[in-house]
Amino acid sequence: MASAELGSSGALLRVLALLLLPGAAPAFKPASIGWSPSSTVRGTLTASDYKTLYYTQKTDHFGFDEDSSFKQRYLLADKYWNKDGGPILFYPGNEGDIELFCNNTGFMWDVAEDFQAMLVFAEHRYYGQSLPFGADSYADSKHLNYLTSEQALADFVVLIRFLKESIPGAGNSSVIAIGGSYGGMLAAWLRMKYPDVVVGAFAASAPIWQFEDLVPCDSFYDIVTNDFTKSGNGCSQSILNSWNAINRVAVTDEGIQWLSSTFHLCCPLQGKDDIGYFKSWLTETWVNLAMVNYPYEADFLQPLPAWPVQVVCKFLSNPSLDDKTLLQNIFQAINVYYNYSGNTQCLNISQAATASLGDKGWSYQACTEMVMPFCADGVNDMFEPQPWDFKSYAEDCFKQWGVTPRLTWITSEYGGKNICSHSNIVFSNGGLDPWSSGGVTKDITDTLVAVFIPEGAHHLDLRFRHPDDPESVVRARELEIKYMKQWLRKTRSSL
Ligand SMILES: *[C@@H]1O[C@H](CO)[C@@H](O)[C@H](O)[C@H]1NC(C)=O
Ligand SMILES: *[C@@H]1O[C@H](CO)[C@@H](O)[C@H](O)[C@H]1NC(C)=O
Ligand SMILES: *[C@@H]1O[C@H](CO)[C@@H](O)[C@H](O)[C@H]1NC(C)=O
Ligand SMILES: *[C@@H]1O[C@H](CO)[C@@H](O)[C@H](O)[C@H]1NC(C)=O
């Protein structure tokens, strides 16, 4: 498996690498949940909804030695755009194929007509088709040297300038950045660093404070645990008990074989060393379930039923069973995540989410700039105790990528909590989303505002409208639209 080259705490690193998954689910399945798409409710896009275009970017915006360039992919939809002053809603792509974010940011498609807006989705360098050195982009740390958030933001700024200069009428269009998760962090940072380029930013589920000691390192896993505790009696306690059950079963080779067959693993666990990977894959599965705990059937990381954590918890109501019975129930529970479609032959512990995500690239980013401390204690949360240990984290990074992470760079570059001099950013967060741990959940000033969605998982508000949306997300979107319109009005009146 890919992660086998990691060191002792490699398991932890692997979890981190996959955590910052992007947006909401692609197409849900209207037919299966008993409603039909109408002019106001839509759930899918087709390729004819947008144009796929490419722009030649400098590989290095900040130095003059590296003179190469590459093609950045972007998607553009102008069906509703009013050439006479209509705005541009700009999605700064995150760590994956830009089509994934385009498909999953229904909010932008839902508001395009009302705003008479052009939509642009720009791919993040080193992901999807936007590879600075083609197939060699990930060859070594030399080729990866230009994978930073600063370079990505510079790409977006250069692209916006090009669009405004080259598209007739766009020169007068105000630009609003909209993004989710890491894309939301980029949207917020775009506004902070380049306020003349974007008039405002809507940053959904953007954990801009998940760095250094800005938030406690255990709050992320606490939120995951709360989701399971609230979703069924005995649920989080069963998961907590499962770790020692695994440890006890795995003391014998026969027990390890039993785990492999009980969990229908594609590749049997090869002895004790694999137990760590197995447990981190389970951890990742619980985290992902919490992230996509949406109120209706959806298909983002995996196809899932409505409120999937409740469905999972039905199998985990009794925490005090013997080890093997408990673990059989754990299998039933994770099979909701991996086999809701009924088409899964076996479970692959190297894979916990869609292949459209660039988990390799994110692993590199986590090993350079994006150092996010996480920890668990097994008391206030349902995970095995896992202290935050920067030293071993850094050693793993060096082993894997030949680079040393810079723990304090992001807060130096983007200001940490000292951002009150900025303006026009809406930060939205969901109460069910583990990433709300590092998000801005209280207003900072009149124009740096927080929108909180108690029933929301990972940027639920960015998804297409849906009949089963909780009232809180409907209200949140209304507020977000209100703020965006305010920014546009203010900009127009100051011209
Ligand atoms: C996005 O949606 C289009 C149209 O439904 C589909 O062809 C494409 O595979 C989707 N891409 C991703 C990455 O989800
Ligand atoms: C901006 O709008 C003004 C007034 O409507 C117009 O004269 C000008 O040509 C426009 N500029 C661009 C770049 O479209
Ligand atoms: C997935 O579900 C199908 C249908 O219920 C079943 O035949 C198959 O064995 C399941 N796969 C796993 C890995 O459990
Ligand atoms: C398991 O997932 C990994 C990573 O995506 C992939 O390379 C491998 O082929 C998969 N193995 C099986 C048996 O499906």
Give the Å distance between the CA of 107 and the centre of ligand 2: 29
Give residue-wise pLDDT tens across range 141-187.
999 999 999 999 999 999 999 999 999 999 999 999 999 999 999 99
Average confidence score pLDDT of the chain: 89
pLDDT greater at residue 11 or residue 268:
268
Can you tell me the distance from the alpha carbon of 435 to that of 374, in angstroms, rounded to the nearest whole number?
11
Give the Å distance between the CA of 186 and the centre of ligand 2: 29
Which ligand is located closest to the Cα atom of residue 127? 1
Query: Could you tell me which of 392, 401, 420 has the C-alpha nearest to residue 363?
Result: 401
Is residue 258 pLDDT above 80, yes or no? yes
Residue nearest to atom 13 of ligand 4 (CA): 266
Residue 298 binned pLDDT confidence (cut-offs 50, 70, 90)? confident
In this prediction, residue 48 carries a pLDDT of: 87
Residue nearest to atom 3 of ligand 4 (CA): 350
Residue 264 binned pLDDT confidence (cut-offs 50, 70, 90)? very high
Residue 17 binned pLDDT confidence (cut-offs 50, 70, 90)? very low
Give residue-wise pLDDT tens across range 219-253.
999 999 999 999 999 999 999 999 999 999 999 99
Residue nearest to atom 11 of ligand 4 (CA): 348
In this prediction, residue 24 carries a pLDDT of: 26
Give residue-wise pLDDT tens across range 88-103.
999 999 999 999 899 8
Give the Å distance between the CA of 290 and the centre of ligand 1: 24
Give the Å distance between the CA of 19 and the centre of ligand 4: 19
Residue nearest to atom 4 of ligand 2 (CA): 172
Range in 28-32, 269-273, 462-466 the model is least confident about: 28-32
Give the Å distance between the CA of 354 and the centre of ligand 4: 12
Which ligand is located closest to the Cα atom of residue 277? 4
Give the whole-number percent of the chain exceeding pLDDT 90: 84
Residue 12 binned pLDDT confidence (cut-offs 50, 70, 90)? very low
Give residue-wise pLDDT tens across range 337-368.
999 989 999 999 887 766 666 678 999 999 99
Ligand 1 pocket check for 48: Cβ under 6 Å: no
Pocket probe mutation, ligand 1, options 99, 105, 357, max atoms within 8 Å of Cβ: 99
Ligand 3 pocket check for 331: Cβ under 6 Å: no
Query: Could you tell me which of 38, 36, 35, 122 has the C-alpha nearest to residue 77?
Result: 122
Give the Å distance between the CA of 201 and the centre of ligand 2: 24
In this prediction, residue 294 carries a pLDDT of: 95
Active site residues: 181, 433, 458
Is the pTM here over 0.85, yes or no? yes
Residue nearest to atom 6 of ligand 2 (CA): 172
Which ligand is located closest to the Cα atom of residue 23? 1
Token code pair at residue 145: 């040297």
In this prediction, residue 28 carries a pLDDT of: 24
Ligand 1 pocket check for 46: Cβ under 6 Å: yes
Is residue 20 pLDDT above 70, yes or no? no
State which ligand 4 atom lies nearest to the alpha carbon of 267: 13
Give the Å distance between the CA of 106 and the centre of ligand 2: 31
Can you tell me the distance from the alpha carbon of 43 to that of 36, in angstroms, rounded to the nearest whole number?
10
In this prediction, residue 278 carries a pLDDT of: 95
Ligand 3 pocket check for 261: Cβ under 6 Å: no
Ligand 2 pocket check for 169: Cβ under 6 Å: yes
Residue nearest to atom 4 of ligand 3 (CA): 342
Residue 36 binned pLDDT confidence (cut-offs 50, 70, 90)? very low
Residue nearest to atom 3 of ligand 2 (CA): 172
Query: Could you tell me which of 91, 117, 299 has the C-alpha nearest to residue 181?
Result: 91
Give the Å distance between the CA of 356 and the centre of ligand 2: 40
Residue 436 binned pLDDT confidence (cut-offs 50, 70, 90)? very high
Give residue-wise pLDDT tens across range 439-459.
999 999 999 999 999 999 999
Ligand 1 pocket check for 75: Cβ under 6 Å: no
Q: Are the beta carbons of 453 and 459 closer than 8 angstroms?
A: no
Ligand 3 pocket check for 342: Cβ under 6 Å: yes
Residues having CB within 6 Å of any atom of ligand 4: 266-267, 348, 350-351
